[in-house]
Structure 1
């Protein structure tokens, strides 16, 4: 099966499961729409007719570099997996939709720009910012001290990660010591990977056996490994873990944590090239959408209301260096 086909199969599987949930509740699901057990309705269509918009604010838009204003478009890069609600392929298996796309569009509205959304592998997104090919990386990017050396950030969501295990697993999680001897999946190059590595290091210093870290780059692969019990658990972004566990019934969450570790609440942010002049414009745009309520509407639409921030910060303390 091709990678494209696996993505579509994963999304359609979620649709089928949630359609059954909706039918059981006596509410027929519309085509391309699914309803979670928590009552959140997800639009998986490529049209996204219900996307939330807001008005341009001239004073904030004026802070965008002139070259971008003249172009009229904000070139946004990001990744796309097969699992809602962050950034995923719609039912046409071509169009990328999700909370990150909606938020990018909302912030661009305030700046008076349209979004040119492009997709790349995780590492390539940084390269495209470095080269100036793209203006902003908006795709569940965590603020880290290492990244702050090269990039500027404007925060817009709390960064929480979740440990997801098969539904019938008897594994309980109290603290990092409980990962000893477990086989745990993670995506390479993410703060979730760093968190696992840090836990292993701390456990090793105390004579506790390490966890085996297994790497995956797309949702179809790691959820197959989880459902077939080739891994004991998967550590990934809380939003996608919550969506998957509630929509499929194949998994459950046994722990949620700050993506920055115990000492700091991690934050997700818009990443832009350092000293590009875009960070302040984005922070002000984000604050405006928080104030007028459209920001909360987008988060609630995708079941992420609990990860809202009260204000955007530019370059706050981030995940410590390795």
Structure 2
């Protein structure tokens, strides 16, 4: 599941990215395009292609893995991938034509389809209908920032492809790093209300007080533009939010940087994002092998790099790993 509040903040974030005066350039040949560059990023900013012609990173079909795909899907010739609709850079959002779905999730889905020798057919829906569609067999696999949980493992199979992290984003060049609770003692940190991030900050602040340190000054923000203004003016030392959004913003503007990342699941387990299929439908094994193929051949790394998410890379895809416990909120 996307980190809480990510959908609520999505429209504001897309508006903020637009507000950084994205300007047109030309595409490079390898998918790491420079069609759109964030003004102010310059040499320090990530070159972002927001156009419909993505020139995605591609990879070759692997016949031995393609042969593992259930016969009905091979006969159809398409991989029906489902993702939550909306504008959530850099996960899944719409290109400048307002109809082409782009982002890191579609790029990874495209690589999986390449290895399996199938044509990618993308199905953007609302969040709840991802699981309804998987349950009914309407869709083959979900790639939509879905976190592995023990409860979901009762109904679905998972093949991991990214870490589920939250991140402290600070003004670039501060030299400050967050490795644990003591690093935020006495600091002013922004966060969205009702999120796991807020809970972590509250818990850390209480721990600091117990140990004789200063409490954290926790500032609540609901609008993306507000906390970025506060960061820029120095009213905040950092903002704690979903890593993909923070990493994308930092890489595309060159004005902020990630100063610490932690599991979105808290300290109990490292949260992991995974391709999701209906349990025992026969597809998760070839999807798992396809993901490991693109990790090994480097295509996966190129995709994460083009969206500024290299810090969420996994060394290999795991099949049905330990997920968030049922007691997790």
Q: TM over 0.5: same fold?
A: yes
Query: How far has the Cα of 1:109 moved from its partner?
Result: 0.6
How far apart in 1 are the matches of 2:270 and 2:158?
15
TM-score of the two chains, using structure 2 as the length reference: 0.73
5 Å-filtered alignment, 1:1-322, equals 9-16=15-22, 31-34=35-38, 38-48=44-54, 50-164=55-169, 175=180, 184-185=191-192, 193-194=195-196, 196-197=198-199, 222-227=223-228, 235-248=240-253, 253-321=258-326, 322=328
Which secondary structure state, in structure 1, belongs to the residue aligned with residue 91 of structure 2? Answer: coil
How far apart in 1 are the matches of 2:16 and 2:134?
30
Which secondary structure state, in structure 2, belongs to the residue aligned with residue 145 of structure 1? Answer: coil
Which secondary structure state, in structure 1, belongs to the residue aligned with residue 165 of structure 2? Answer: strand
How far apart in 2 are the matches of 1:39 and 1:118?
31
Cα pair distance change 1:15/1:285, threshold 3 Å: farther
C-alpha contact (below 8 Å) 1:143/1:269 kept by paired residues: yes
C-alpha contact (below 8 Å) 2:250/2:256 kept by paired residues: yes
1:204-254 Cα distance to aligned partner (Å, 9 max, x none): 8999899989796xxxxx31342466x977543312202213434776545
C-alpha contact (below 8 Å) 2:157/2:276 kept by paired residues: yes
Which secondary structure state, in structure 2, belongs to the residue aligned with residue 161 of structure 1? Answer: strand
Cα pair distance change 1:11/1:202, threshold 3 Å: closer
C-alpha contact (below 8 Å) 1:184/1:211 kept by paired residues: no
**5+ unaligned residues in a row in structure 1: which ranges?**
20-28, 217-221
1:37-69 Cα distance to aligned partner (Å, 9 max, x none): 545322111111x21111211221122222222
Cα pair distance change 1:203/1:105, threshold 3 Å: same
How far apart in 2 are the matches of 1:104 and 1:315?
18
C-alpha contact (below 8 Å) 2:304/2:310 kept by paired residues: yes
Partner of 2:29: none
Query: How far has the Cα of 1:8 moved from its partner?
Result: 6.0
How far apart in 2 are the matches of 1:179 and 1:145?
34
C-alpha contact (below 8 Å) 1:144/1:319 kept by paired residues: yes
Q: How many residues were matched structurally?
A: 300
Query: How far has the Cα of 1:83 moved from its partner?
Result: 4.9
**5+ unaligned residues in a row in structure 2: which ranges?**
1-8, 25-32
Cα pair distance change 1:316/1:248, threshold 3 Å: same
TM-score of the two chains, using structure 1 as the length reference: 0.75
How far apart in 2 are the matches of 1:267 and 1:238?
13
**Root mean square deviation of aligned Cα:** 3.9
